[in-house]
Structures are given as C-alpha cells and as structure tokens.
Chains A and B, each alone.
Chain A
Amino acid sequence: MRRVIVLVLLYLLMQAVLPLGEGTPAALVLMAFGFLILGAYSVGELATTIRLPKIVGYLAAGLAVGPAALNFVSVPVMDQLAPVSELAIALIAFLAGAELQLEEVRNRGVVLLKMMTAELSVSFIGIVVVLASLHNFLPFLQGAPFTEVMGFSILFASVAVVHSPAVTMALLSESGAKGVVARTTLGVVLLADVAVVLSFSGALALARVLAPPEGDGGVGALVVLWEIGGAILVGAVLGGVVALYLRFISRELFIFAILVAFFGAEIAGLMHVEVLLTLLVAGFVAENAGGGGGEQLRHAMERAGAPIFVVFFALAGAKIKPDAVIQLWPLVIPIVIVRAAGIWAGTQIGAWWAKAEPAAAKYTWMGLISQAGVAIGLASVVASVYPERGEELRNLFLAMIAINETLGPILFKISLLRSGEATSDSFRGSGH
C-alpha cells in the first residue's frame, strides 16, 4: 500500500509540476532522475509481491513513464540521462570483473570456456539461419542480394547472442546466490561478453565488406586489435592503480568507487578502447591484487550504484517501443525462440563437452536469456554505421531485446529457485 501511495504522489507531483515549470533542461533532468529512482524502485518492490524480479518492475516503470506511455521522461531527457547509463554500465562491468576470483578462473576456466563456446556458436548459427530465411519480413532486405542478406544476418546475430551482465549481477545481488548455477551463469556471461566484443568487431568489419555502408570506409584489423588489446592494457593499469589505493589508502571508498567507474569509462572512450572490457579487466585486477580490499570496494560500489542501476534499467525500459515489437513480431518471435533454443542446446553440448556439474547443465541456459544495456549499445553502433537502414535495424534489435529483457530475469530467477541456490525470501528481503 505504501508503495502505491508513493507512486500516486509521484504521479500527482509530475502532473502538477510539469505545466508550471519552465526551468532549465538541467533541472528537468535532475527531476526525472529523482522521479525514476523513487518511482522505479517502488514498482520494482511491487513486482516482488507477484513473484517477479525487481528488475522487471524497473523496466515496467521505465516503459510506463517513457515516451511510449506517460512521457514524463521524454526522449531529450533520456538523451541527457545517457551518462547515467554509461556510468551504470561501467559500474556493472567493474563489479562483474571483481566477481571473478583468480582461483575460480584457474579451477573452472576450461569448463566456462567450453560452455560459452558451444552456447555462442549454436545460437549464432541459429540466428543467422533464421534471419536469412525470413529476411523478406524486413523492408530494407526485401530483394537484397544474398551477400548483403548474409552480411546483415551475421552482424545481427553477433549482437543478438549477447547476454546481460547487468541483469545477471542484479539478480545475483538481489538473491545472494553463490552456488554452482550462479557462478557458472556469471562466468559464461562475462566470458561471452569478451567474446562478443571480439566477434562483433569482426562481424562489423565483414558486414562492411559484404554490405558497404553509405559513404563510410572500413575498419582496419589494427583498430579492432587495439580496441581489444588496448582495453586489456588500460584495464590492467587502472585495476593496478585501484589495487594500490586499496592496499595503501583504502579510505572514502564510496566516492572512490564512483570516481573509478567514471574515470574508467572516460579514459576508455578517450583511448578508443572497449569500455566494458576495460572495466571488466580493471575489476578483475583490483579484486585479485587489492590485498583483500576488493570486497570493501565492491560493497561500496554496490551501495553507490544502487540508485544508478535502478535508473539504468528504468531507462532501458523507457527505450522499449511497443509498436515496433508489434509490427515486427513475425520476425522477432522466431528469432527469440531460436535464440533461446540455441542457448539451451549450446549449454547442453558445452556441459557434456566440459563434463560440468548436472545442475549447471540443467539450469545455466535460463540465466543466459537476458539482454539489456550491452545489446542496446551494440545495436546503436550498428545503427550509426548504417544510418539509412539503421532505424529499422534498431527497431528489430529493440523488439528482440524488449522480450528478452522481460523474460530473461524471470527465467533466471526460476533457475536459481529450482536449483535451490536462492529462495523466495532471499529475493524479497534484498535491498537492491
């Protein structure tokens, strides 16, 4: 009841304030930010009462207040709030890297690698085949030559196979699960992220050859190499500095956590290296070289990031275009089904190949369905490379991501509950 009153008050506040104000865009952005924190968080808590993950509530809240519905958070405001999403992605990547213990990588690295390889390969092939087969449903691919169809199919599939470290981390943080399913899912998601970054760069280069974009040159192999290699280098240096800070100063971690994420994202952008990979490596190095201070930093980062994550997911929800989902459903539904089937089949093959634990073989696939920020980011890159065909392509991506980001957290929650690594109470009692 309390949460409903909060939502009603927020709704009335916005209804009363919006016609009265003519403040600066900065003020509007700040107001929307505060509104999203309180509103989305309340909807997230309401979602737990009907046994849905909070994250689904955040997404639903974003959808409700976004341009598709109430328009309290308009497109220009969302653009202004883009740094919040960038910061959230940086925080998520750092936290995800920090979750990887060196010991675990040594012990389970091969298992994770085999499962990830099988899962990504099968789902990638499946999506390429289904998109190439159904390409006539996409107006800009109707009657296109085979090479162009294949180029776009490969490019699309390289983005479509990506998972969501954000959703995975959020649900693990929410449930406190640390069992074999939780660790395997997280490990595969993180490794897949690195692999997708690599494969996406390659796919983009190939697509540019098969279907040259309007008035744009290609991307050289050296550029791709620098994006990846440079990210590892920059991330390692950043992680080393953080580790030194943790060892010798280790104060004001709350502020330090935010600064590290901001700095990492900015420096990665400045040096043209992959942001996610940079922060992932930085988190990994800081955790494993920080002399025990990594856990404190992680807690500080989770605390500092809590409102940022809420807004990040709400903004992701606000970007969903229901009309695009409806228009493209003949294409989107088969892609979503084939992707899920590919993930399931791939993890089964990978688990058999790696001789993984039965629980990991049975439940890991359910944690790999989610898609969110990374996928949206990569989709935006594709749309920027192909500006004329980008809008339709972006809609297709967003329609697929909308379904996966809604279903994914629910499936992951089910997998954690069924495997016994989390309980309904642990989901309900979380502060995140």
Chain B
Amino acid sequence: MSASLVLIIVVATAYLATHLLYEWLAKRLLIVSGAEYLVLGILLGPQVTGVIPVEAAESFGPIIVLGTGWIGLTVGMQFYLPRLVRITGLTFRLAVIESLITLGAVTLVLWWAFPALGLTSQFWAIVPALALGAIAVASTPAGLDIALRDRKRREPVVNQLETSLGVNAFVAIVTTGILFAWVHRAPTSALRPPTPTEWAVITVGVGVLGGALFHLFLGEERKVDRLVVSLGGAVILASGTAAYLNVSPVLATLVIGIVLVNTSRGRNELRTVLAAAERPFYYVLLLLAGLSWKPSTSSTIVAVILLYVVVRTLSKVYATRASTIWNKATPQLGRDWGKALIGQGRLTVALALDYARRPELPIGDVVFTAALASVLLTEFAAARLVRAALLPIVEPLRDLAQRLPWIDAEEEDAASTASTVPAASVSGTFQVPDAEGASTLLSPDAEVTPSLGGIALGRRNLPRDAHPGSTRQRTEEASPTPPVQDATPLHGPVHGQQDSSPPSNTKPDEER
C-alpha cells in the first residue's frame, strides 16, 4: 500500500473519529484533541513501524511548509488594531512581561545546559536555546476555547488570557523569525549575501507582498470561491517563497494575517475560510510532525525535556504571579492565571518543525523532541488547566449561583418572552461586588449560570441538573440577536470598559 494512501486513510479515519468525538470529549472530559495524531504519526513513521518510509515522509515537505504557514496566518488574523488599541496598558504589560521572562528563563537555562550536557559547543548553544526559549513562550488557545466554548466572557482574567495568548504567539514567531534570519546560510549565487537585518526585512517583505497580492487579486469581489483562490494563492506563494529563501514561513504569513485583518473588508469571511481548514491542517501537521520525528541519539534528551518543561512551567506560573502582584492586579486576575498558559499546541509544533527542517541549525532533533514532548504532556490537559486557573477568580459567581437558585427560573421566563421583548429589558443587570469593592455590571444570562461565568465545569461539577450546553442554549434563545461565534483570542472589551459593555453575544464583534 502506498504511503500516500496510508496517510489519506489515517487522516480521514482519525479526522472523522475525532470530529465525531471532539464535542463529546470537550464537553464531558474537557480534553483537547490533537496529540493523538502526533503519536499516530510516530507509530506509522520510519522510526517505529515504517509503514510510511523516510522518502515518503520527506515527500510531504510542501504540506508541512504550507501547514506551518497556515498556522502563522491564523495567528496573524488575531491582531486587529482597532481591538488592540482598546486593551489597557496593564493587560499588555502583564502579557509582555510573562512572555519575556519565559523566553529569557528557558533560553538562559538551556544555553547553560546544552554545552554542560555535551550536546553542542558553547558558541552554538545559543541558537537551539533561543529557539526552544521562543517555542516555550507559545501557548495553545485550544484550552481556553474549550473551557469557554463559544461563549466570550467579560471577566478581566479572560481578557488577560486572550491577550497573553496573542502576545505569546507574536513573541514566539518574531523571535524564531529573527533567529532564522540571524543564522541564515549565505546563498552561493548572490553577488553579496544579505545581512541578517536584510533577511529579517525580506521575511516581513514577503508577508507584505503576499498581503498586497491578495488584495490586488481579490479586488472588489466578495465571493467565497474567489476568496479561497486568492487566500490560498497568497499563503501558498508566501510560505513557499519564505521556505525557498530559508527564512521563517510562519513569520511571513503572520505578517500576511496582520495585513489582511487590518485592511480587508471581508475579514469575517476570511475567518470563516480559515476556520474551515484550521483543524484539518493542524491534524495533518501533527501527523507529519510525528512522521518527521527522529529520536535523538543523545541519552541526555530526557534531561533537556525535563529542564524545558520544568523551567517553562515555572516561568509561566511564577512570572505571571510575580508580575500580577507587582502590578497590584491580583484582585481582578487572581494569582494563578499563568496556569492557563501551560498548554502547548499547534504553534509549538509548527515552530519546532520549522527549526528541525533546517539542517544548518544545531541539534534540530533535540529541539524537536523537547517541543513534541511538551505538546504531548500538556495539550490534553490544556482545558483543565484553564479551568483550574480561572475557578478561583470566578468563585464569587459560583457562590451567587448557589445562593440564588431562582436565577434559572428567571432565565426560562426571559426565554419565553424573548421573542417580543429585548433581552436586556427582561433580564436587567446585577451588581456583583468584586474584591476591591468595585461593581461589575453583569446580565444574569451572561454571568450567573451553572457554568461558572462561561467556564465549563464538566457534567459532574454542575450544581444542579444543568447540562454544560443547556444554559448557553437558553441564553441564545433569550437573546433577540444571534450569537457571535468568534474564536479569536484578542478581542472583547478591556478593563475599565466592561461596566458599560453590552453582553458579549449581542453585537457583531467588529462593533465591540
């Protein structure tokens, strides 16, 4: 049986199975699906069973490049400037501090460890150390998406997490992009090899050109068919060009994403197209990552993995805690919101693959193995980690829900009258005092629910007979306008604005 056929069968079967099980797993067990593809890839690959031989695995190179580029694009699409400018300085400050501390801590420790473990020379150790430092910054948004599902909430801690996820991704991609420009192999055919700065500019230039081509090509058309061709063409061209120039395809497509989301009038259609392909691309990428995996010949790999995971986890948890306390934001955010950033996923895989596919860079197999190990160890639990991080900060809501059992009854009443009366006038608002005595305007259907302010509990944690989806369903029924299903992390109101904001599912996200 040909390798391509095996891959198609595996992807199709696994995708269908996951697709059918995904909602169930997410709702009942809060499990993020994905890492199993990685294991499957490793099992089918040349290192274990050899069902898919080395040559066949290498022939999937274009798909890997395209997959990494696609992930860069989805990250870039989150950076919609009108939304970003509404986020407070404090939120950004905390996110940037956490990112830089994680980057610095992991880089420094591994820079010391690699030569100490005999993996590389002191001179070269900075390259893999910085790469793993950048990869360590990335966190998966899947946990937050599953924990919140399609309910975008107004709690400061959720806004903080969404902002941090975006900043983390940005820092990780830009750092690896600069790293690849810095250690770029000089082309033999060029009259004068470009400098690292020029390579970095070229990387960004490829992205800008891709975005410009997209717009010129698309023109005034809004048809989805044309959008698919235009988007596909621009991303494929930019990813391929970046890979051909040996610079970072993820950074190039990140730039395309930023250009598109800030200049395209059809950004919602774009998101729809991207969302349709995002999960399959990720699964294929995971599978191919598993196939591409080469076990490190060094026995010290376990030490590297341990160092990476431990230092990263400590940085995420304690850097956030320290910076939150330092900035006196504990009452709004709690101390442990950094736990929600521990999970690693698609971006980690993309960046690690991008590094490992460059033969000129040292110990690619070690970097790749450590990153994959981290994904395997943390992605399954990402949603649970998010829940663990957020529960303390929404505890007052749990208390309120338990003290006021008539809330559900009122919601049902609201649902029954929603067809004639606007939701806001039916439900009114509650003044919930926060820890500092300030009040937060909360609509009962948005906040006081058995799902703890939108954070899924899992069936066994629900206070009464509520199904995790049932309250949401009632909320949607009660609302006169359809809910917005937007999974982009960097959005929503900001601290200080939430008091006057309407419920998150009452306006298109562009207007928020």
Determine how close the nearest CB of chain A comes to the CB of B337; give it in whole angstroms. 34
Within 8 Å by CB of A38, from B233, B244, B280, lies B233
Residues of B within 8 A of A21 (CB): 187, 241, 244-246
B217 adjacent to A42 (CB under 8 Å): yes
Are B209 and A9 closer than 8 Å at their CB atoms?
yes
A38 touches B213 (CB 8 A): yes
Say yes or no: A27-B225 contact (C-beta < 8 A), given A35-B237, A270-B5.
Answer: no
Residue of A at shortest CB range from B65?
Answer: A30
Assess the A20–B223 pair: CB atoms within 8 A.
no
On whether the beta carbons of A29 and B62 are closer than 8 Å, the reply is yes
| Chain A, range 16-69, C-beta contacts under 8 Å to B | 17, 19-35, 37-38, 41-42
B side interface size, CB within 8 A: 55
User: Given the complex, which residues of B lie within 8 Å of A83, measured CB to CB?
Assistant: 4
Chain A residues with CB under 8 Å of B19's CB are 251-252
The reply to whether B219 and A17 contact each other, CB–CB distance below 8 Å, is no
Report chain A residues within 8 Å CB of B277: 254-255
User: Which stretch in A137-145, A228-236, A302-310 binds the other chain?
Assistant: A302-310
Q: Which of B2, B213, B232, B244 contacts A10 (CB 8 A)?
A: B213
Main secondary structure of the interface of B (DSSP, over half): helix
What residue of chain B has the Cβ atom nearest to residue A39's Cβ?
B233
> Known contacts being A10-B213, A306-B225, is A266 close to B236, with CB within 8 Å?
no
B243 & A30 in contact (Cβ 8 Å cutoff):
yes
Residues of the A chain whose Cβ atoms lie less than 8 Å from the Cβ of B232: 34, 37, 307
Partner pick for A29 among B64, B209, B240, CB 8 A cutoff? B240
The A262-293 residues at the B interface (CB cut-off 8 A) are: 262-263, 266-267, 269-270
A1-16 vs B, CB cutoff 8 Å, 1 = contact: the mask equals: 0100110011001000
- Report the tally of A-B residue pairs with Cβ distances under 8 A: 155
Complex CA distance for A304 and B213, rounded to whole angstroms: 20
Tell me whether A17 and B245 are in contact in the complex, defined as CB-CB below 8 angstroms, given that A30-B66, A34-B240 are known contacts. yes
- A431 located at the interface, meaning its Cβ lies under 8 Å from any Cβ of chain B in the complex: yes
Q: Which residues of B contact A266 (CB under 8 A)?
A: 2, 4-5, 8
Residue of B nearest to A263 (CB): B8
> A163 at interface (Cβ–Cβ under 8 A)?
no
State A9–B211 Cα separation when bound (angstroms).
Answer: 12
Chain B positions within 8 Å of A262 at CB level = 4, 8
B228 & A22 in contact (Cβ 8 Å cutoff): no
A225 interfacial by beta-carbon distance below 8 Å: no
A432 at the interface (CB under 8 A from B): yes
Q: In the complex, what distance in Å separates the CA atom of A20 from the CA atom of B11? A: 36
Cβ contact within 8 Å between B243 and A26: yes
- Which residue of chain A has the shortest Cβ distance to B61 in the bound complex? A26
Q: Indicate the member of A9, A10, A262, A266 with the most B CB atoms within 10 Å.
A: A266
Cβ of B194: which chain A residues have Cβ within 8 Å of it?
20
In the complex, the answer to whether B190 meets A37 with C-beta atoms within 8 Å is no
Instruction: Tell me whether B185 is interfacial, beta carbon within 8 Å.
Output: yes
A→B interface (CB under 8 Å): 2, 5-6, 9-10, 13, 17, 19-35, 37-38, 41-42, 83, 249, 251-252, 254-255, 259, 262-263, 266-267, 269-270, 302-304, 306-307, 310, 431-432
Given A26-B64, A33-B240, 6 more pairs with CB closer than 8 A: A6-B217, A21-B244, A27-B244, A34-B241, A255-B15, A302-B225
Q: Which 4 A-B pairs have the closest CB atoms?
A: A34-B237, A26-B61, A30-B240, A31-B240
Q: Can you report 10 A-B residue pairs in the complex whose CB atoms are below 8 A from each other?
A: A2-B217, A19-B189, A24-B61, A26-B62, A30-B240, A33-B62, A37-B232, A252-B19, A255-B280, A306-B229
